[in-house]
Amino acid sequence: MPYDRKLLALPLALTACAALAGCGGSAESATQAPRTAGAERTGAPSGAQANAQATGPGSGAIPAGPPRKVLPLAGRTLVIDPGHNPGNFRHTAEINKKVNIGTNRKECDTTGTSTNAGYTEAAFTLDVSHRLRDLLAAQGAKVVLVHDADRAFGPCIDERARIGNAAKADAVVSVHADGSAVGNRGFHVILPARVQEGGADTTKIVGPSRSLGEKLVARFGRATGTHPANYIGSGTGLDVRKDLGGLNLSTVPKVFIECGNMRDPKDAKLLTEAAWRQKAAQGIADGIGAYLKG
C-alpha cells in the first residue's frame, strides 16, 4: 500500500608447376589440375585465404570473435522503490514526523499493511523488488534500489523521490500491496496527477508516467494471470492521485503498483506464494521493457 529492469591456401608453387608441366608429374596431369577460384588463377590469395594468412601463426593479428550480443536494457537506469521498510514498526516516532511533499506536509512513511496471517507488506515489497532487480540487471540495466532494508527505517517519502531524481532514472516503480476490504481483489497502478504547487511540479512526467502505467497493467496481468482491481480505477487498473509525495516530488517517470489486496484471503494466498511473486516481478519487468521500447 503506497505511502506515499583454408580454404587451405594452395601453394603458389602449384600454379607454377602446372604452367611448367613439372614438379614430378606429366604435363597432362599438371594441366588437368583443378582450378577452383579466380584468385588462384592469378596467383593472388582468395578472401578466405587472405584471412587465414593474415590471422595465422606469427601474423600478430587477433581473429575476430562472434559479434557481441547487445542486451535490451543496456544503458538504461531503473530505480526500484520497495514500499515501506521492515523496521518501520520499531520506529514509529521517526516515521510519524512530517516532511514536505510539495503540496503540503505528510508523515515520513508508514508501516504498511499485512495479511491476516502476519505477512507484511514490507517483506512482500522487498522480496518482489529483489526478484525484479535480478530480472532487469540480466537485461543489461543499471538498477538502483531505494533501500534494501539496510537502514533502521524509511527512507522518508521525500528522500525516495530524490533518489530516483538523482539517478536520472529512465523509470521508477514503487512496489506495494494494498490493504483494502475483503472481496476487493486485483492489482492497480497509481499515476501522478498534474500538480504545480509549492515544490511539486509533475507537468513533465504525467504523460510518460501514464504510458509506463498502461504498459505495466497489460504485462502484469498477462504474467500473473490476475485482473485489474475490481474496487478502484473502474476496471482500467489505473488510479490517478495527487496526495503521494513520492509522485509529487518526482522529476522522472514514476508509478506505484499495488500488486494485490493483502486483506483479501484469495489475493493474500497469491501474494504469499514465492512462485507468484516471481510472476509479479516478471510482469513488472516486462512492463518496464515495453515502456522503454516506446
Catalytic residues: 258
Q: Judge whether 195 and 271 are in contact, CB under 8 Å.
A: no
Q: Which position has the grid cell 512526467?
A: 205
